[in-house]
Amino acid sequence: MKKSFLIILSLVVMVFTQCTNTNEANIADQKNIEDQTIERTQQALIEKYGSENQELIKRGVAHAASLWRAADGTQEEFETFCIEQYIPDANEKEIIFNKVSKNFESIWGHQNKIVLDLNENMHLENGPYHNIDAMFAGYSPDSHFSVDFYSNRIAFVIALNFPPYSLDEKNELGKDWNSLEWAYSRLGDVFSARVPAELSQAISSAETNADIYISEYNVYMGHLLTNEGQKLFPEDMVLLSHWNLRDEIKSNYANKEKGPEKQDLIYNVMKRIIDQSIPEEVINSNKYDWNPIENKVYKEGNEVQLSAEPDTRYQQILNNFQANKATDQYYTEYNTFVKRAFSGSKEIPQEEVEKLFDEYLSSPVAMEVGKLISKRLGRDLKPYDIWYDGFKARSSISEETLNEMTQNKYPNPKALEADLGNILKKLGWEKERAEFIASKVSVDPARGSGHAWGAEMKSEKAHLRTRISGKGMDYKGYNIAVHEFGHNIEQTISLHDVDYYMINGVPNTAFTEALAFIFQKRDLQLLGFTNENPDKEYLQNLDLYWSVFEIMGVSMVDMKVWKWLYENPDATAAQLKEAVISIAKEVWNTYFAEVYGTKDEPILAIYSHMISNPLYLANYSFGHLIDFQIENYLTGKDFSDEVDRIWSIGRLTPQIWMQKAVGEDISIQPMIKATEEALKHIN
């Protein structure tokens, strides 16, 4: 596969280079509508339909003009188009909106189904990869969507009559909008920028190749050696980086005999991955035994010399950066990927996110929680204790017991799928409602660690992907599956139960992560375990605080890396590697070193999301904050009814959604306060 990957990578580089050259030619040929034409068109429409419509007329004409290119027609043709296509009547406008919504559901729903099908061999356990699988997965069926809709001028009809609003405007005006007005604004977001199809395709290809790289980054744990030549892990254990490696560290807190030694060994593996000193031939291979501490490789007991992995890990980040940066010039307001990822996609400005995270990470409560963990462990903290799992109930239950239970209960994906309705009934849903939601979810065996893939039209199902071996689903896979099922519940409710299709979904992925976390925390409850510990709530709050402390640190690294990329756009993979390691150590030293008592640790750079899902990590931090606030709100209320209500609000902006959901803005203070109370109680 390494050879296959390099072939695909070279193709992407070639395509990207060609796209860039073509794009420069396209830019030179573009010509927007002149200001005087815009003003003349606006005035003509205001005179025809009255001053009461002037705000929308001015906004719509100006936006349509910003998208109109010389190839679309002359100045006169633009003016004529606007006068003929403007919709002044509210009833007619709603009729047109409903027609557009119905057609978009069909288009986007089928495109989503195509992508799902084309990625099947990449995401599911369907045998080995082939070049053709990666080529199909890299194909984006919607890459020409915008081109086609500008060509047939539907995009201009929408831009003229349903213009977009800025984030500030949505947060201010949206407080008083009804569902239809929100749906109109979301339709306006569809054509907010005009990016050439070949650049959209280049982004898709870069993302696909990064996903391929990560999905094959397995470590054969049974072939790891200690300095004494011992093998600590089962022969058949294969763990995906970083998710499974992290979860294996978590699971070994309950193993007092061999757990610490296993954890130390895994951390050495992680450091080798981060600095790319890991021998390339031990990745996803059981041909060699490897001592990651001394970085020595053996075959049949004899030491052999193998080359380190080239800076492939960091080349993936560069590929994503270059592909996304190539589209910057097509955006007026969000003219960097950082802005698009935060103010655009998350609808929370990056500066606000970083400030919020800094406040959380700088809280003195971190030192106190760290001292408590050190006391519970009976030793000084180690860097991998960012994943300390000792506050959870399952830490007192052996992994073997949990594995036996889940493997017997779910020997294959179909067994889990058949049980989804029962899971929902255990959580309070009535039989008919539980069966309806469960009928909209399909369970598939994942090649990687697992994910949830939502439907984009009501006639299709959401997909729950989780890793299931021939022995059945182990507890790690089950825990992930419950998390992913939470995503599926959100995906189903927010598609089927919103007022209008155009507001289906949630404000951003942090809000679907919140429900996934809410479900994941109930995994042991679903297996029949109850925790009678009177300290349960306090321990849960400490666990959540520590998890957020870790993931916010990783998120800070992710954000700072992308800022560095924009400051150093011509960097090589080797230079980026050094920058990422330096940034990870800088963030560690700023927020973690005092708590842990060690400096210059690179562990915050291990997350695979940085490679295959750029700037996604902040969603987990927000997801935990939202999860905490919603959990507090759910106390004493009907769980299923409130989940149905909250996740059917629709895709509003984050703060407005939170106000409607629980009556307060997103904040770190409730979690900090709860952690302080927990510390007082436990201590």
Give the model confidence (pLDDT) of 306-354 as tens digits: 999 999 999 999 999 999 999 999 998 899 999 999 999 999 999 999 9
Please tell me the predicted confidence (pLDDT) of residue 137. Answer: 85
pTM of the full predicted structure? Answer: 0.82
Residue from 427, 301, 385, 305 nearest 597 by CA: 385
Q: Looking at 568-614, list the stretches that DSSP marks H as alpha helix, in order from N- to C-terminal side.
A: 573-587, 593-596, 609-612
Q: What would the pLDDT profile of 119-151 be if each residue is shown by its tens digit?
A: 888 888 888 878 898 888 888 888 788 889 999
Q: Is the pLDDT of residue 498 over 60?
A: yes
Phi, psi (deg, nearest 5) at residue 554: -65, -40
Strand ranges for 271-371 from DSSP E:
289-291, 296-299, 302-304
Q: Quote the CA–CA distance of 136 and 636 in Å, as a whole number.
A: 49
Please tell me the predicted confidence (pLDDT) of residue 598. Answer: 97
Q: How confident is the model at residue 395 (pLDDT cuts 50, 70, 90)?
A: low
Note whether 317 and 614 are within 8 A (CB). Answer: yes
Please tell me the predicted confidence (pLDDT) of residue 469. Answer: 83
Helices then strands, each counted (H, E), the chain: 32, 8
Note whether 644 and 497 are within 8 A (CB). Answer: yes
Note whether 221 and 234 are within 8 A (CB). Answer: yes
Q: Is the pLDDT of residue 5 over 60?
A: no
Q: Report which DSSP code applies to 127.
A: S
Q: How confident is the model at residue 12 (pLDDT cuts 50, 70, 90)?
A: very low
Q: Quote the CA–CA distance of 248 and 571 in Å, as a whole number.
A: 34
Q: Which uninterrupted H or E stretch holds 451? A: strand 450-453
- Contacts of residues 321-326 at CB distance under 8 Å and 24 or more positions apart, as own/partner, are 321/562, 321/565, 321/569, 321/614, 322/16, 322/206, 323/16, 323/199, 323/202, 323/203, 323/205, 323/206, 323/207, 324/203, 324/614, 325/565, 325/566, 325/569, 326/16, 326/19, 326/20, 326/23, 326/199, 326/202
Residue holding tokens 């700037």?
Answer: 615
Residue from 141, 209, 247 nearest 466 by CA: 247
First and final C-alpha spacing in the chain = 53
Please tell me the predicted confidence (pLDDT) of residue 74. Answer: 95
Note whether 338 and 561 are within 8 A (CB). Answer: no
Q: Quote the CA–CA distance of 603 and 389 in Å, as a whole number.
A: 17
Q: Is the pLDDT of residue 21 over 50?
A: no
Please tell me the predicted confidence (pLDDT) of residue 534. Answer: 85
Handedness of CA 400, 682, 373, 582 (dihedral sign): positive
Please tell me the predicted confidence (pLDDT) of residue 348. Answer: 95
Q: Taking residues 49-53, what's their average pLDDT?
A: 90
Q: Is the pLDDT of residue 20 over 80?
A: no
Let me know if 510 is exposed, middle or buried by CB neighbors in 10 A (0-12, 13-18, 19+). Answer: buried
Q: Is the pLDDT of residue 66 over 80?
A: yes
Q: What would the pLDDT profile of 439-493 be if each residue is shown by its tens digit?
A: 999 999 888 778 899 999 999 999 999 888 889 999 988 999 999 999 999 999 9
Q: What angle do CA 674, 677, 683 make, to 5 degrees?
A: 135
Both tokens of 650, joined, read 């629709």
Amino acid identity, residue 99? K
Q: Taking residues 104-110, what's their average pLDDT?
A: 97
- pLDDT top residue among 274 and 133: 274
Please tell me the predicted confidence (pLDDT) of residue 152. Answer: 96
Please tell me the predicted confidence (pLDDT) of residue 28. Answer: 34
Q: Is the pLDDT of residue 1 over 60?
A: no
Residue holding tokens 């573009």?
Answer: 30
Please tell me the predicted confidence (pLDDT) of residue 407. Answer: 96
Q: Is the pLDDT of residue 287 over 70?
A: yes
Q: Is the pLDDT of residue 522 over 70?
A: yes
Q: What angle do CA 267, 270, 276 make, to 5 degrees?
A: 145
Handedness of CA 602, 620, 484, 518 (dihedral sign): positive
Let me know if 364 is exposed, middle or buried by CB neighbors in 10 A (0-12, 13-18, 19+). Answer: exposed
Residue from 570, 655, 555, 536 nearest 614 by CA: 555
Q: How confident is the model at residue 15 (pLDDT cuts 50, 70, 90)?
A: very low
Least confident of 17-31, 121-135, 399-413: 17-31
Residue holding tokens 């890990």?
Answer: 313
* Local structure of 430: helix, strand or coil: coil
Q: What would the pLDDT profile of 226-268 be if each residue is shown by its tens digit?
A: 999 999 999 999 999 999 999 999 999 988 899 999 999 999 9
Please tell me the predicted confidence (pLDDT) of residue 478. Answer: 93
Tally of CB atoms within 10 A around 71: 11
Q: Which uninterrupted H or E stretch holds 466? A: strand 462-466
Q: Report which DSSP code applies to 620.
A: H
Q: Taking residues 525-534, what's their average pLDDT?
A: 85
Q: Is the pLDDT of residue 14 over 60?
A: no
Tally of CB atoms within 10 A around 571: 18
Please tell me the predicted confidence (pLDDT) of residue 397. Answer: 78
Rg, Å, the chain Cα set: 26
Q: Quote the CA–CA distance of 425 and 478 in Å, as a whole number.
A: 18
**Residues in Cβ contact with 114 at an 8 Å cutoff, skipping those fewer than 6 apart:** 141
Please tell me the predicted confidence (pLDDT) of residue 590. Answer: 98
Average pLDDT, the chain: 92
Note whether 336 and 328 are within 8 A (CB). Answer: yes
Beta strands 238-240 and 289-291: pairing type?
unpaired
**What percent of the chain has a predicted confidence (pLDDT) above 90?**
81
Residue from 550, 397, 545 nearest 479 by CA: 397
Both tokens of 69, joined, read 């290119």
Residue holding tokens 């349960």?
Answer: 536
